[in-house]
Amino acid sequence: MGYLDRYYPEYRLIIELDGGQYHPDVRRTQDQARDNANAPTGTTLRYGWRDVTRKACETALQEAQALRSRGWIGTLRPCSPACRAAYPVRPAMALGT
């Protein structure tokens, strides 16, 4: 499977964080090959810098939704009263568009 940033084996969900330092353009082919190889064991959600710094709440909501669709019964705790993860977000927004 190779190195994974975060793996939830019981939910077959892989989370990958792509930063410029460790994921330059030349590595994208390797990342793609790894994701495709991991497809039988689960789904990969891939995030960049903006997703975890400026859209952290939406990213957390998307991860929680992916986990929930795979049987997770936990509760996503909002970071503040204005947290975007506390309210339903349209799928396009949750994907970072």
For residue 1, tell me if it sits in a domain: no
Tokens of 69: 């669709």
For residue 62, tell me if it sits in a domain: yes
The 8-class DSSP code of residue 35 comes to H
Average pLDDT, the chain: 78
For residue 38, tell me if it sits in a domain: yes
Taking a C-beta distance cutoff of 8 angstroms, is the pair 32, 88 a contact? no
What is the sign, positive or negative, of the torsion defined by CA atoms of 72, 73, 79, 80? positive
Taking a C-beta distance cutoff of 8 angstroms, is the pair 11, 69 a contact? no
pTM given for the model: 0.71
Domain containing residue 79 = 6-94
The pLDDT of residue 88 is: 55
d(CA 93, CA 97): 5
The pLDDT of residue 27 is: 66
**Average of per-residue pLDDT across 24-44:** 70
**Of residues 88 and 56, more confidently modeled:** 56
pLDDT classification of 89: cutoffs 50, 70, 90: very low
Count how many domains the chain has: 1
**Average of per-residue pLDDT across 5-31:** 77
Taking a C-beta distance cutoff of 8 angstroms, is the pair 50, 42 a contact? no
Q: Which three-class secondary structure state does DSSP give residue 13? A: strand
